[in-house]
Amino acid sequence: MWSYTLRRVLVTIPTVWAVTTVCYLLLHITPGGPFDGERKVSAAVLANLQAKYHLDMPLWQQYLYYMKSLLQGDLGASFRYADWSVNELVAHALPVSLTIGGSSLIISLVLGVVLGIVAALRQNSPIDYLVMLISNMGSAFPSFIIGPVLVLVFSILLKWLPSGGWDDFAVSYMVLPVALLTFINVSTIGRVMRGSLIEIMNSNFIRTARAKGLPMRTIVFRHALKPALMPVVTLLAPLAISSITSAVVTESIFSLPGLGKLIVNGAANRDYTLVLGLVVLVTFMTVLFNLLVDLAYALLDPKIRY
Amino acid sequence: MFKKKQAAAAATLENVLNQPVVQGRSPWRDARIRFMRNKAAVVSLVILVLITLACVFGPMLLPHTYDSTDWDAISLAPTLQNWHWFGTDDLGRDLLVRTLIGGRISLMVGALATIAAVIIGVIWGATAGFMGGKIDNLMMRMVDMMYAVPYLLIAILMVTLLGREFYLVVLTITILSWMDMSRVVRGQTLSIRSKEYIEAAHAIGVSTPTIIRRHIVPNLLGIVVIYTTVTVPGVILTESVLSFLGLGVQEPMTSWGVLIGDGTKTMESQPWMMLFPAALLSLTLYCTNYIGDGLRDALDPKDR
């Protein structure tokens, strides 16, 4: 187990390094600098700006400088928000995204697993049809259609909730974004849970348990649930990651001041350091999630031994 | 005696030749029959063809163009008059034509990026599977690395850097969508390569190019077709997300994502602006999903 962990951790380092380097080179090779905007700046100001952001050094020095500060956890200064470092911007935005993404992930795990179990045990019941309907809708209606429809119904027609914005972690502003993400996650978790439990319930060891005369409750919770949950565990990493990336869409629908909004604004303003910093950060988080889920899987599944 | 035998043989031959020809059913014909039995998939295919035809030919037949302003009809609700069936936007541009033109872009990005991603994925996966060993290991590690990348953010980064031309959007989406195909093709190639019939073909002296052409490519084709249909909705969705965020094709050109994004801004007063492109996009995604399912059921050899 320990050697496997070590090997997995060692594999992640070149991944993060490669992504950072490729993005860094892409940024600096493509024509058009961050100061080529509509507003022309004088040569002296330009020189000062370039000195401030180390753009006057040769590329390899800039790269080494960037990598060195990255190792110390410094993502550099923002090109657009002159007085802000990328770290400060991230520190303001990350809690918003984590709150929305994290709470929707927890809610949708509970909801998805419960709905999946009921749907699998009562096939062709109303709950089963509900699960199939949600998962069908989740695959055909993208979040940027469901989100505006939620706004239309709950804030414009019914006037129950604000249509967007953020007020220092006030719950009413969080309900719609969390509901949207939860809907999308439940559509996947519910379908996978239903499918895997149906398969497990048809397997031989469950037939044995039934033949022994065990009550249904014991069969489901003691014998069937644990192996049926394994596919859901594998889903966790992609779901956690998509909670971050789909934040790009949710946060622009509901105008939330999170990471997704930051990266879309950064892209629109051609704020290179900000976008690069966010890509590096999210890649790091992605790799970390994958690592954690792989390790959890190795711990949970008795068939896997390293 | 000899003549008699010859005559008998000739008669037999004649008999055989006069028999009605028995058509062997190829696996592809089997698959087609199975696909045609799947009602949902056939209906989806018909709807998708209709949408495509409407997007390709509709704009030519309608009296408006996608960028012309009708000053008498600004922010018009859907009406049967003057062909403004889907209404007009706040610049007086006809939304029926814009939705169809947007569909052209969305479907074209979907088709081009899928074709490119399939070509790259198949070549990459087949090469890795054939070569095996260190090359295979290296190529698949690179695919793993691509998987670790948060694709939407990279797409945003690339579109920001390279620009928002049509072909650059296609390029960006292609680069981020070929990995699934390469993994699947590699796995399939590996398993085919170790099959007995390949060994038998080697043993009777069939040349490698012939083995590839006669045995490996046809066996890869099924899974490639299935994963192609799985790739299409994902690609269309990525393009729409980029457009929705304002990072896709630029005005006055449009796509379904752009129209939905614009529509959400005026949703309160003019909900039809968002309704029609959203409905068409969802319908397209639904149909491609069903066609994919139908093809998987039709082509999966395990099902026979």
- Contact of A194 with A131, CB cutoff 8 Å: yes
Q: Range of B202's domain?
A: 32-66+85-299
pLDDT per residue over B217-271, tens digit each? 788 888 888 888 888 888 888 888 888 888 777 777 888 888 888 888 777 777 7
3-state DSSP percent of chain B in helix, strand and coil, to 5: 75, 0, 25
Interface test with B, best of A145, A180, A283, A288 (most B CBs within 10 A): A145
> Which of B148, B237, B271 shows the shortest C-beta gap to A290?
B148
> Residue B230 and residue B105: Cα distance in Å, rounded?
19
Say if residues B99 and B277 touch (Cβ distance below 8 Å): yes
Query: From the CA of A205, how many Å to the nearest CA of chain B?
Result: 25
Residue B89 inside a domain? The answer is yes
Length of chain B: 304
Reply yes or no on whether the pLDDT at B71 is more than 80: no
Q: Say if residues B197 and B215 touch (Cβ distance below 8 Å).
A: yes
Residue of B51, B145, B236, B293 to mutate, interface with A, max A Cβ within 10 Å: B145
What pLDDT does residue B115 have? 92
ipTM here? 0.76
pLDDT reported for residue B120: 92
Contact A144 B241 (CB under 8 A): yes
Residues of B with CB under 8 A from a CB of A: 144-145, 148-154, 156-162, 233, 237, 240-241, 244-247, 257, 260-261, 263-264, 267-268, 271, 274, 278, 281-282, 285-286, 289
The torsion angles phi and psi of A80, rounded to 5 degrees, stand at: -90, -50
> Which has more pLDDT, B151 or A188?
A188
Six-digit token string for B82: 């003057």
pLDDT of residue B304: 43
DSSP per position, B216-261: IHHHHHHHHHHHHHHHHHHHHHHHHHHHHTT-SSPTTS--HHHHHH
Assess contact for A118 and A129: CB atoms under 8 A: no
Decide if B71 is inside a domain: no
Residue B94 has φ and ψ, to the nearest 5°, of -70, 125
* Gap between the Cα atoms of B42 and B40, Å rounded: 6
B257 is a domain residue: yes
**Min CA distance, A222 vs chain B (Å)?**
33
Q: What is the pLDDT of residue A38?
A: 54
The residue of chain A nearest to residue B248, with distances taken between CA atoms, is: A268
Residue with tokens 């695919």: B143
pLDDT interval class at B150 (50, 70, 90): confident
Structural domain includes residue B9 = no
With contacts defined as CB-CB under 8 Å, which chain A residues touch B145?
A: 14-15, 18-19
Task: Say yes or no for a CB contact (<8 Å) between B240 and A276.
Answer: no
* Angle ∠(A235,A106,A124) on CA atoms, nearest 5: 65
Contacts 24+ apart (CB under 8 A), B88-95: B89/B262, B89/B270, B89/B273, B90/B266, B90/B270, B93/B64, B93/B66, B93/B67, B93/B68, B93/B69, B93/B252, B94/B62, B94/B64, B94/B66, B94/B68, B94/B70, B95/B259, B95/B272, B95/B273, B95/B276
Q: What number is the average pLDDT over the span B7-36?
A: 75
pLDDT over 90, % of chain A? 1
Confidence band of A35 (pLDDT split at 50, 70, 90): low
A37 touches chain B (CB under 8 A): no
Considering the domain boundaries, does residue B186 fall inside one?
yes
A256 touches chain B (CB under 8 A): no
Mean of pLDDT over chain B: 81
Number of neighbouring beta carbons within 10 Å of residue B221 = 14
Q: Give the integer Cα–Cα distance in Å for B15 and A10.
A: 73
- Which residue among A144, A263, A267 places its CB closest to the CB of B244? A144
Structural domains of chain A, with CATH = 1-72 (no CATH), 91-271+279-300 (1.10.3720.10)
Amino acid letter, residue A69: S
Q: Does A140 touch chain B if contact means CB atoms closer than 8 Å?
A: yes
pLDDT digits (tens, 9 = 90+) for B151-182: 778 788 777 777 777 888 888 889 888 888 89
Shortest CB distance from B245 goes to which of A15, A248, A282?
A248
Question: Tokens standing for B64?
Answer: 């408006």
Q: Is any Cβ of chain B less than 8 angstroms from the Cβ of A263?
A: yes
Residue type, B102: G
Residue A240: both structure tokens together: 């956690």
| Helix/strand/coil for A255 | coil
Give the span between the Cα atoms of B162 and B177, in whole angstroms.
18
The CA distance from A288 to A98, in Å, is: 15
Number of residues in chain A? 306
Per-residue model confidence as pLDDT tens digits over A168-184: 767 777 788 888 888 88
Cβ distance of A145 and B278 shorter than 8 Å: yes
Name the residue among A235, A267, A289, A285 with its Cα closest to residue A112.
A235
| pLDDT at B213 > cutoff 90 | no
Three-class SS state of A203: coil
- pLDDT by residue (tens digit) across A213-223? 888 888 888 88
A245/B contact by beta carbon, under 8 A = yes
How many interchain CB pairs under 8 A, A with B?
109
Percent of chain B with pLDDT over 70: 92
pLDDT at A198 over 50: yes
Listed residue (B179, B191, B187, B33) closest to B117, CA to CA:
B179
Mean per-residue pLDDT of chain A: 80
Torsions phi, psi of A164, nearest 5? 170, 180
B74 or B181: which leads in pLDDT? B181
- Are A237 and A253 in contact, with CB atoms under 8 Å apart? no
**B152 domain residue, yes or no:** yes
pLDDT band for B49, please (50, 70, 90 cuts): very high
Q: What is the pLDDT of residue B218?
A: 80
Evaluate whether residue B147 is within a structural domain: yes
pLDDT (mean) for B266-284: 83
Max mean pLDDT range (A61-70, A133-142, B227-236): B227-236
Whole-number pLDDT of residue A40 = 62
Exposure string of A115-127, with b = 16+ CB inside 10 Å and e = fewer, is: bbbbbbbeeeeeb
CATH of the domain at B44: 1.10.3720.10
Position B114 scores a pLDDT of 92
Residue B12 belongs to some domain of the structure: no
Residue B103 pLDDT exceeds 70: yes
- Mean pLDDT computed over A5-32: 79
Q: Which amino acid is at A39?
A: R
B300 CB-contact burial (10 Å; exposed 0-12 / middle 13-18 / buried 19+): middle
The mean pLDDT value for A257-275 works out to: 80
> From the CB of residue B16, how many other CB atoms can be counted at a distance below 10 Å?
8
Give the total number of structural domains in chain B: 1
- Tell me whether residues A18 and B162 touch, CB distance under 8 A: no
- The answer to whether A144 contacts B260, with C-beta atoms less than 8 Å apart, is yes
